[in-house]
A and B are shown apart, each in its own frame.
Chain A
Amino acid sequence: MTDNSPLARLMTSPEGRLAVIAVAVFALMSVLSPDRFLSLQNMTSMAFQFPEFAILALAMTVTMLTGGIDLSVVGIANMTAIIAAMIMTRLTGAGDGTAVMLLALAASLALGMLAGLFNGLLVANLGLPPILATLGSGLIFTGIAIALTGGSAVMGLPPAMAWIGNSTILGIPTPLILFAVLAGALSLLLTRTAFGLKVQMYGANPLAARFAAIDITGMLIRVYVLSGALAAIAGMVVMSRANSAKADYGSSYLLLAVLIAVLGGVNPYGGYGRIIGVVLAVLAMQFLSSGLNMIGVSNFARELIWGALLIFVMIVNTWRPFARRT
């Protein structure tokens, strides 16, 4: 691997290595199960499945870039979805309820940002460690969701609500389009705006950011508000696909979101991370779990394989021959 071939150059960045892994997983699954894995039906089904946790992984990425973490994303997603669902079930009359749905979605987005503001105040103003602040606030949000519903699902959503999670636009699943738009916007936010550069610089050295007269408090609050907003959007997609809202939906998504962010090359200590890496990590995970499912590996082995993939990529990233050149 000392030559300058395109492959060798690709292998010098974590995103490049991940792209190679994603393509390799895709090729392997295509060979092992050509007629099922490569079918249009499977492609569409994968495209409907991953956006909900992929959006949570985007939220996780933003906080991890500052060296923090947001463990409350699933709590926010469920709480905001339940409140939106309750608004809709109370107000919907005749018709498909588009107007009521838009109102409820706006309320859920605002509520997600408010929850993020709460996290931001805990982290930026009170100086709590993000991992503990959001662990606590996540329990509060989940608690609110349980208290509001008594733990049961809120059902009877208006028909319009099904559109976000289940429709296609020009044959492309709507959740996939939503994820692509969010990922693209976030990528621009992080690389082309003052806010994005400050987030990365702060993550690289919080002390130097203070000595460089950066408004750290304002920046951190915005980071957690953004994370809360993304979590609320993920909550809407989950609600639409399940056609209901419940306090314990997506409980496995929290660690999955952390795993995808780290797999995508985001430095959990802050300062480095690219959205393209997170997107590639999402794809690699989805190819792996769908493909294994098709070749008959038990669904129960999924987490085992995800964990193994994470550790494999971590080893490759820290392994000398690769790591030295990055």
Chain B
Amino acid sequence: MTAPLVTLDGVTKTYAGITALDGVGFSIAAGEAVCLAGENGSGKSTLIKILAGVERPDRGTIAFSGAVQGALTPRVSTDAGIKVIFQDFSLFPNLSVAENIAMTAEMGAGARLVRHGRIRDTARLTLDRIGVDIPLDAAVETLSVAHKQLVAIARALATDAKLIIMDEPTTTLTEREVRSLLAIIRLLKADGVAVLFVSHKLAEVLEVCEHVVVLRNGAKVAEGPADQFDAASLTLHMTGRAVGETPPAPLPPGAPVLLQVEALAKPGVFDDVTFALRAGEVLGVAGLLGSGRTALAKALFGLVAPEAGTIRLDGRPVPLGDPIAAAAAGIGYVPEDRLTEGLFLTQSIARNIAIGRLDAHARGGGVLDLSALWGETRDWLKRLAVKAPDPEAAVRSLSGGNQQRVVLARWMARGPRVLVLNGPSVGVDVGSKAEIHGIIADLAAQGLGVIVISDDLPELMATCHRILVMKGGRMVEDLPGGSVTTDGLAHRLAS
């Protein structure tokens, strides 16, 4: 038996304390189609970059046809026949179809002069190989998305591709275009070319795949023959299985309503969202990508301006579309993307917490009472058990779990009434995750209202008193915690 085309073994990559990939291994054989499934932040893009030679793994090996590669560079990777088709295709919009297809192959062959005849021949032959007819002289910018994708596939084939990696190949295609793409994939496979589909929406390409690999939080959580998976089981694996955490203590009856959201709407994003959050309640919002859950979370904190509806906190209306007013009213928001939205990476740990409390510690003329400010931040570092050797060190030096605690401390120091946590444990290791869940339970016990938005269904099951299901921008279900299993919830999201 020959060695597989590509074998990954124990590939690990971390960025600024966040584990993007954790010991991932699988292999792809010639002529095989593999699905790599995962939600946002699961490590898919990092894996593509590593295979393309753009990023270097911290640990682990990659072998091409059995030969373990040392330092992989984009050059080595393309020479081995690995071609990535990114979501935007990276084509030259102003050049013709023929030029786009043949240019890379011509340059790869060391051509210094443009030879139009040869370019057209190469392009013609390649398009014939996948049985497609696109005018060779048309400018690529005039083509439909589906045709652009075919040009990108043809370009990869013209340079002798052995493995084509397609990033989110079906998101912008219509159903008919997806079917014709699948027909072409079958042709490629018959030709001995392997295909790796990378997506969070893979149900529609499952039928041409032999093999499925599912990533979650940077780790491989499932792998097997494609016929063992369907849409619901993929969703379940991407969002996780219950790990046996206990559900939260029941809400005392008669807990007062803290936050009342009524008929909140932003056309095209979310519509007619109405719910109430009680003091001491942890409310989960479940929804797939594109369901409007993140826009809703941002709207609660004023980062997205809804066009209709009201938000009331303790019966008083909160101005819409103004984060400063929302924060002043007592709403806090822990964002989804910690590195770009949550943290000031180059600034110190202490400053990252203190930023929320600067105005509270300003005396006459805006001069800060520094000893009180730093005393308070040290106190919060201790209370949330942040493992920080030096509060003056840059916050980027912390691990993902500790970074998340810094963002939590920033908001908790302000004494909010309602905290909105978007993906509270993305990129956090298992141990820290349980501790963050403990912090959420403590917050609720202190009488805060907490809203948790997460892809991680077991996390919602473990932390929430109630779970709202969002689909297509609407709240479609309101499930009391414990009334549904993780499998049941996954089915409701995928259906």
Contact = CB atoms under 8 A, between A and B. Distances in A.
B307 to A, nearest CB: 21
Interface string B341-370: 111111100010011101101100111101
Interface stretch (A56-64, A115-123, A197-205): A197-205
A193 interface: yes
Given A194-B366, A204-B346, A211 B335 contact: yes
A272 B351 CA distance: 13
Contacts of B342: 208, 211
Interface in A265-306: 271-272
A195 B358 CA distance: 8
Interface of B, helix, strand, loop or mixed by DSSP: helix
A268 to B, nearest CB: 14
A204 B355 contact: no
A277 to B, nearest CB: 16
Interface in A168-199: 188, 192-195, 197-198
Contacts of A205: 340, 343-345
A200 B362 contact: no
A250 B359 CA distance: 39
Interface in B327-345: 327-328, 333, 335, 340-345
B351 A197 contact: yes
B340 A208 contact: yes
The number of chain A residues touching the other chain, given as a range, is: 20 to 34
A192 B343 contact: no
B344 A201 contact: yes
A192 B366 CA distance: 9
B306 interface: no
Given A211-B323, A212-B356, A212-B410, A204 B335 contact: no
B303 interface: yes
Instruction: Give me the 9 closest cross-chain CB pairs, A-B, nearest first.
Output: A213-B327, A194-B358, A204-B344, A193-B366, A194-B362, A205-B344, A211-B341, A213-B323, A204-B347
A210 interface: yes
Interface of A: 188, 192-195, 197-198, 200-201, 204-205, 207-215, 271-272
Contacts, number: 69
Interface in B144-199: none
B355 A212 contact: yes
A221 to B, nearest CB: 14
Contacts of A188: 367
Contacts of A198: 355, 358
B324 interface: yes
A188 B328 CA distance: 28
Interface string B390-427: 00000000000000000000100000000000000000
A193 B367 contact: yes
B346 A192 contact: no
Nearest to A202: B344
B323 A210 contact: yes
B436 interface: no
A207 B346 contact: no
Nearest to B358: A194
A212 to B, nearest CB: 5
A144 to B, nearest CB: 32
Given A192-B370, A213-B327, A272 B346 contact: yes
Given A205-B340, A208-B343, 15 more contacts: A192-B370, A193-B366, A195-B366, A197-B355, A198-B358, A205-B345, A208-B344, A209-B344, A210-B323, A211-B323, A211-B335, A212-B356, A213-B324, A213-B328, A214-B355
A100 to B, nearest CB: 31
21 contacts: A192-B370, A193-B366, A194-B359, A195-B366, A197-B351, A197-B355, A201-B347, A204-B345, A205-B343, A207-B341, A210-B303, A211-B303, A211-B323, A211-B333, A211-B342, A212-B355, A213-B324, A213-B327, A214-B324, A214-B355, A271-B347
A208 B410 CA distance: 12
B326 interface: yes
Contacts of B323: 210-211, 213
A218 to B, nearest CB: 9
